[in-house]
Amino acid sequence: MAWSERDIPSQAGRTAIVTGGNGGLGLETARMLAAAGAHVVIAARNTAKAEAAATTIRAAVPAAKLELRPLDLSSLQSVGRFVSAWTEETRPLDLLINNAGIMAIPRTLSADGFEMQLATNHLGHFALTLGLVPALLQASSPRVVTVASGTHWGGSLHEDDLDGAKGYGPWGWYAQSKLCNLLFTAALDRRLRAADSPLAALAAHPGYAATDLQQVAPRQTGSAFGSAMMTAGNAMFAQSAAAGALPTVQAATDPSAEGGQYWGPRILGWIGAPALSARSGSAKDVALAERLWEVSEARTGCRLGALTR
């Protein structure tokens, strides 16, 4: 029987951070968790959009417990401020949903000098997760769910040119960042299992879901044709953002979901109810994941601390 919103167990008393919860998949994820009773923290760069998202969620879930916090994942300084503020409050954290992302944009460097898709989609979430592990370990059954993409199948880790200085393709570097999401999840899962940690790391992807994410690159390049093609594709082939968010929500809340798993739509990994999803050979490469971990540590300056209470 297909898993749906009706199957989300009560999240009363639990706290969830949803990065990029101001729109698209993140907004739907935040709405579902709030409807299940969770206290949801929307962590987003754009404060106005976050406030609009909160209004939208409260219209659907009047009793929603929501909190808005600024977070720019492309800036390690912003991530550090977010982690420091949370740590100072000594608040337990039950769920961390690493959802925010950008897609197929022209080559841009972050404030820290990293290619923007790698910085936002992977490095920012790497630093955020490692920084929040102590808070997660204060919760009874904590989980980290990182949102990847089916495009990771076409991705490779450009180890000698992570930032695209020698040659850059918007889609190639997007696929690289999504491959990084899965390599990170796998490497974190191995560390958690080795430590017999109560924390679980999972990944999910939305298949083809209609969100505003597809319009970011056409807007940045001024491509009316690209915008029209994305609009047409969404209308003809995509499922809704709510359907696309379901694999993430199941990974986060289903008691039967386990660390290391990767969830996505069941129909060709494209649309439909959530199911366990396949990943590429590169995404299962242990040595590659360990090299990425070392690079991520070097770039962010973050290290993983104790994994048990």
CB neighbour class for 58 (10 Å; exposed up to 12, middle 13-18, buried from 19): middle
Q: Are strands 39-44 and 65-70 parallel, antiparallel or unpaired?
A: parallel
Cβ–Cβ < 8 Å for 118, 176: yes
Strands in 95-98's sheet, in edge-to-edge order, are: 65-70, 39-44, 15-19, 95-98, 143-147, 200-204, 262-267, 271-276
CA distance 98 to 114: 19
- Helix (H) or strand (E) run with residue 98 in it: strand 95-98
CA distance 179 to 169: 15
Largest CA distance in the chain: 53
Catalytic one of 168, 174, 208, 262:
174
Instruction: Examine the residue annotation and report whether 174 is marked as an active-site residue of this protein.
Output: yes
Q: What are phi and psi of 259, to 5 degrees?
A: -55, 140
Report the C-alpha dihedral over residues 283, 187, 32, 279, rounded to 10 degrees.
Answer: 20
Q: Which of 188, 156, 186, 191 is nearest to 171 (CA)?
A: 156
CA distance 132 to 91: 10
CA distance 158 to 155: 9
Cβ–Cβ < 8 Å for 44, 100: yes
The residues that are catalytic are 174
